[in-house]
Structure 1
Amino acid sequence: MTTTAPRFGWYGDDFTGATDTLAVLAQAGLRSMLFMGVPSASALAAAGPLDAVGIAGAARAMAPEAMRAELAPVGRFFRQIAPTVLHYKVCSTFDSAPHVGNIACAIQTLHPSVDNRWVPILGGQPSLGRYCAFSNLFAAAGTGGAVYRIDRHPTMHRHPVTPMGEADLRLHLAQQGLQGIAALHYPLYEADTSNDAAALPTALGALLSTGPADLPFLPTLLDLTSADQLTSVGRLLWQQAQHARLLAVGPSSVAQALIACWEAHTSQSAPALAPSPAPVFAWAGSLSPITAAQVQAATSYQRIPVDAHRLENDAAYTQATQRAICAGLQQGHHVLAYTGPADGSSSPASGGASAAVAPASAALVARVVQAQVDHGTPLRRIGIAGGDTSSHAVQALQLWGLSYKTTVCPGVTLSRAHSADPSRDGLELMLKGGQMGGTDLFQRLLGAV
């Protein structure tokens, strides 16, 4: 185990979001490592001294019982290494439901690993176009897109698994079983930064003194409408964490807020993304219209459409798809395989795919990587779009950790893979969710933009 307690620990409820937090911390100069599960003593030793320890998981796609089984050992691990702040990292759109990705269930499972009754929940991440005002969440539709209230967002209000039908995050989380949710709204932050630095602590003190005494923890939703508010929010979190170790919930803005209030951090700009020395392989398993537009714009790639249903059920088709991908790579082409239509339309081949498609996709990605090693032309950089596919792919590639390499675009990180397999150690890996990135994302992955 680490010889000194890290300043920050986090669990990402999907792999793509977990790498975003990794980037935020690494760019602040913190020695950070994202592990692919609760790390062994040997993996911790290999990582060296760390200021921030992360675990990438898949709780966002799990039912409550599975979430508790997943998060219980995570909580025990973080209780042992004792980070000052423990962050349960959720998607910036808060898409979750009582039956899947239940955030209340996660809080209930992880809270025994800390000592502070207060559980701050940060709504919004302005750097990604996510804003929370008076507890209501708003989100941009793509990078630089129009901003919608989350229950009217063109994608999130009709998400196939966790549609967002309520914009007030207090009500959204109460539907998942989170009781006694209080709120601190953004006008208090303006007082905190202008003429009354005690405004937020005073308001929090009043909430804590009047909160229900019979609840094991006191959740409080905090607005976030502007990056200017990060310092005030971070100062409040850090002050409370000095009294007792703290569990905080929210997107990567939790880490951003804390970094904004730490005076000793050394901010570092993201290193330039160099052109890949070998052909790039990308897999788009997301059905998001944003990902579809990115596939359509990826003109530097040989694009290969993949039938998701046949991939799941037809071994001969899967082998033929692998051969086609490898042939393109071995001929020196960048290759982008995708299971959704490139024009963003619906199609029988892409709609209604079962939960088995993501692991089938991930297994094919791993086979392509191994086939290129066997051919003597190992891949150096790969990109995966789709949260479930990303999670399964990292597991199929048998990686034990990821460290920060650079940022492809806001919210999308290029990581360095760590593996006991020398052929995969050092692989550059981009993982991205369906809502992340501009239209030129896959072009940027080449290092050519």
Structure 2
Amino acid sequence: MPKVLIAGAGLVGALNACYFAQKGWDVEVYEFRPDIRKMEHVPGRSINLALSDRGKAALEGVGLKEYIVQQGVPLYGRLVHDKDGKTFHRIPYGQPGQHIVSINRRHLNEVMITLAEKSPNVRFFFEHKVKSVNVEKQELTVICDGIELTQKAELILGCDGAYSAVRRSLAAYPRFDFAQEYIEHGYVELNILPKNKDFALEPNAFHLWPRGDYTMIALANRDHTFTVTIFAPFRVFEEQMSNDSDIIKFFEENFHDALELMGRAHVLETFHRVRPQSLVSIKCKPHHFGKSVLLTGDAAHAMVPFYGQGMNCGFEDCLVLSEIIDQHANDIPKALRVYSETRVKDAHNIIDLAMYNYEELKDLVNHTSYKLRKKLDLILNRWLPETWIPLYSMVTFTRIPYSQVVQNRKWQDDLLRRVHTSLFLGFLAAGSAIGYLLVKKRNLL
């Protein structure tokens, strides 16, 4: 059987290992970090993620869907908290029953690594830093204890995240397009602890505090805690949250209800301990190189987290790649070309949608026009379930390719615009006709 080398044992790398283990391939996974199953604390990324249908489909492909979903907390819509700290309103995600699932990142990663390792043809090499890839020789070079090791395989997957060493070593590859953008906003993570051994907030909702240029969210965890994340421009962190009194003042003015649940001491301790983290968006084209090298997950398409699709898109990468390899009977060069041709445009579209959705989360959810459009979309979806699917539902509750999602939304917007124009012209014509008849009647009198 062929051999695959996987750079990175994070979520996408581990799931790819599971897929290739099922195919019977020889699998070697190289990871810079120690084995997270043996670590007391894993630094870095958020502890919870939002799993939607694309991610579920990918997990189902390796037999993990039901178990992982049971380990999470279902979220049926957004609960938008007003600035007064007392009132809120609900925005359902879709039709009754449709939901996403808040899951624990670390547990999910550990489960996939363990599942992959059950196969005798899979080996994980932790504390091995990926240095570079050689496309022509089909080789991956890693460093362990200061010693360089070079491995060769029919397929090499770069699953080593937004700051991918594999992608970096391909920077000079002919006709490789790469774009990186840091947005002006950063984030800080906080926590809400259980209240009387239970959730301090309603657990089955995505809690949202939109405040125009900044926002805060909270997702429930199975241990009855909430992971809270505040997103704001770096200048806001620097100018309005530079000392203890300013931090507390900022939270009291904007997130009073959440501050009472988190506690002032916890908020101050967190801001003393961590600095706001940056958010990067990355596009590249192509995703494949030569006959054997492929970028997947954040290494190929890092995106801001505001559509909850980073993990789901990365997991769908694994499923799509597996399906295409099967369709082409392990013809790796052909499979990589086909994969790259289809996946690049989808990746670029969801990256753009994620950028757009931040405008929605931090401000648009408070606008009457936004609320009316959401209600109209759901009504039309109930009447025409196969024809009219809301944007969020297409992204979250289907596997419609992201590029097709964007085209469908454009069609919907154009149709509503034409209907609106027709109604306006109709009312204008009716008004003119009525006016003409009234004038004519008056002249006759």
- TM bin (shorter chain): under 0.3
Greater share of residues in helix: 2
- When Rg is computed on C-alpha atoms for both structures, the one with the higher figure is 2
- TM-score calculated relative to the size of structure 2: 0.27
Greater share of residues in strand: 2
